[in-house]
Structure 1
Amino acid sequence: MIRTVIWVIYLALYLIYSLPTLCKVKRLEPSLTVAERDKLSSELPKRWARSLVKLAGAEVTVERMENVPSEGAVLFVSNHQGDFDIPLLLGYIDKPKGFISKEEVRKVPIVGWWMTVINCVFMQRKDRRQSLQAIDEGAKLLRNGHSLVVFPEGTRSKGNEMGRFKAGSFRLALQSNVPIVPVSINGSYKLFEEKRLIQPGAVEIKVGKPIYHREYKDMDEKELATLVRNIIKDQQMKE
C-alpha cells in the first residue's frame, strides 16, 4: 500500500515537473526531420516511464533489441498484460514511438497532452466509424515516419493467457507497408493487476525479428493477425 501511495505521488509531481519541457517540445523548429523531432519529443517521456517502472520495483529484462530496425518507422505489435505495458515499452524499447490508445486517456491532464506530442492515436472502441478513422490516422503517421505500438487484444489480459488478436489492427501495416516488430511481454500484470496494488515483479520483454512488407503483402488482415499472434506466443514460451 505504501509503495502504491508513493508511486502515485511521484507520478503527479513528475507530470507537473514535465510542463516546461512539454511547452518547449510543442515549439520545436519545423525544419527538424521527423526522426529528430521524435527523438527530442520522446526523451523526457522515456526517462519518466523508466523511473515509474523502477519505482514499482520491477526487474526488467529485454532480449534481442537488435531486432528493432534503426531507420524508418515500424509498427510494434505486442500482447497486453497490464497497465505497465505502456511505460515498459516507452522506457525500454529504444526507438521513439506513439501508441494506439483508448480515447479516455486523452482526457487525463498532462498525460493526454504528452501522448498527443509523441504522436499517439486515440480510438473509441465502441464507435466503429471512429475506430476506422483512427486506423487511417495511424497508417498516415507510419507512412510519414512515426513508429507506433498497437495491442491487438484491445484490452489487458491481466495474466499469462493471451486473448484473440483483432484483425482490424493490422490495417495499420497493410495501409503503410512498414515493418512489423512482434513484442512479447511476460509478467507485467504482476506489477499491478495481480493484487490491484503496485508491487515488485520480474518482467521479460522479447523483441522478435521484423516482418517486412514483402513477407506479408499477400496476406489479409486475419492471416497477418494469426501469424503475428503465433510469433508472440512462441516468444513467450521460449526460455
Structure 2
Amino acid sequence: MPALLSRLRSYFFYVPMVYLYTAIMGAGSLISSLFDRDGRIQHWFARTWSKMILGTASCPVTIINPEKLYVGGAAVYVVNHLSAFDIPTLYAALPFQFRIMAKKELFRYPVLGWHLSRSGQIPIERENARASLKSLMKASDTLKAGTSMVVFPEGGRSPNGQLQPFLGGSFYVAIKAQKPIVPMALIGTYEALPMNSFHIRPRAFQLVIGDAISTAGYAPREMDKLAALAEDAVAELYYSRSTIERPATEPADEALRHAQLTESPEGQG
C-alpha cells in the first residue's frame, strides 16, 4: 500500500506540478529573452523553476565543499548524469550563472527546448562532426568571455546509477579556452528518479565538489587523457558517498590506466 500511494502521489501530483511549473516559468523565460541580453533574467527563471520542483518533490540539495566551486574565473564544471532531476538540482544549487552543454535532442522539447535555445545553452550533435565542432567552438568562446560551462561528459543518463565512460568533447573545450575543470558528483538523484521512470521518491540530494584540474600543458589532441583524469576524480567523489556499488575493474586495465594518467602532458610532444 505505501508503494502504491507513492506512485499515485507521483503520477497525480508531482509530475503534473512539474509540467505546470515548466509551462509557466518557461513562458516567462521566453518573454524575458526578448530584452535580457546577458541571460541573467532567464537564468533566474531557470533557477526559480528548479527550486519549485525540488521543493514540491521534497528533495533538498546540499553542496559539499562549496569553497572549491570558485577558481578565480570561468571553468568547465563536469558532473555525472543520473536523472531528469540533475538539471534542476544544478540550477538550484550552483550560486552563479552558467551555460549547459546538452545533447541536441533536449532542444526539440516544447518549452524546455525553446528556453535552452533562447538562453544560450550549447547543443551537441554527435552524429554530425561539423555541427559538433561548431558547438564546441561556441562553448569555448563562451568560456573565454567569462561564463562557466556545466557539462555531462557521459553523454546521457546512466541506466543503472553507475558512472559511464566520459567523452572527450567538453575537455577539448576546456583546453582550447585554457580554463580549469572542476569535477562534481551528484548523489541521490538516481534513487529519486531513475531513467525511464515517472515515480518520484523524495530524498535529500548532495552535490559534491572536487579539486580543480588544470588544463595547462595539454594539447587538444590530449582531451581523452584529460577526460580519464576527470572521470577518476568524479568516480571517487561519487562512489565514496553513493549507495550505488562501484563496478569491478580488471587489474590489467587499471594498471594501464594509471600509467597513462601519470605521464606528464608536456611529454606527449
Q: TM-score, normalised by structure 2?
A: 0.77
Aligned to 1:33: none
**Percent sequence identity over matched residues?**
25
Per the alignment, in what secondary structure is the counterpart of residue 185 of structure 1? strand
Of the two structures, which has the highest relative contact order with CA contacts closer than 8 Å and spacing of 6 or more? 1
Gaps of at least 5 residues in structure 1 are 31-36
1:237 to 236, 239, 263: 239
Aligned to 1:90: 91
Separation in 1 of the partners of 2:29 and 2:82?
Answer: 31
What is residue 203 of structure 1 aligned with on the other side? 205
Q: Which has the larger radius of gyration?
A: 2
Residue 17 of structure 1: how far off its partner (Å)? 2.6
SS at match of 2:127: coil
Cα 1:166–1:21 change in 2 (3 A) is: closer
- Measured after TM superposition, the shift of residue 228 of structure 1 is 0.6
What displacement does 1:194 show?
6.7
Structure 2 unaligned blocks of 5 or more: 1-6, 242-269
Give the secondary structure class of the aligned counterpart of 2:52.
helix
RMSD: 2.2
CA distance in 2, matches of 1:20, 1:237: 38
Check 1:172–1:20 CA distance in 2 against 1; reply closer, same or farther (3 A cut): same
Within a 5 Å distance, the mapping from 1:20-169 to structure 2 comes to 20-28=28-36, 37-69=38-70, 72-169=73-170
Deviations 1:46-86 (A, max 9, x none): 11112212222324222011111275322110111112111
C-alpha contact 1:192 1:199 (8 A) present in aligned 2: yes
Check whether the contact 2:192–2:200 (CA below 8 A) recurs between aligned residues: yes
Task: Go from structure 1 to structure 2 and tell me whether the alpha carbon gap of 1:55 and 1:145 turns closer, same or farther (over 3 Å shift).
Answer: same
Letter in 2 for 1:207: I
Q: For residue 163 of structure 1, report the CA deviation from its aligned partner.
A: 0.9
SS at match of 2:16: helix
C-alpha distance after superposition, 1:154-187 (max 9, x if no partner): 1111333111111233111011112211111122
CA contact (8 A) 1:46 1:91 kept: yes
SS of the residue aligned with 1:156?
coil
CA drift of 1:238 comes to: 3.3
Q: Which residue of 2 aligns with 1:17?
A: 24
Q: Which SS does the other structure have where 2:177 is aligned?
A: coil
Q: CA deviation at 1:87?
A: 0.9
CA distance in 2: counterparts of 1:71 and 1:49, whole angstroms: 26
How many residue pairs are counted as aligned between the two chains?
231
Report if aligned partners of 2:75, 2:143 keep a CA contact under 8 Å in 1: yes
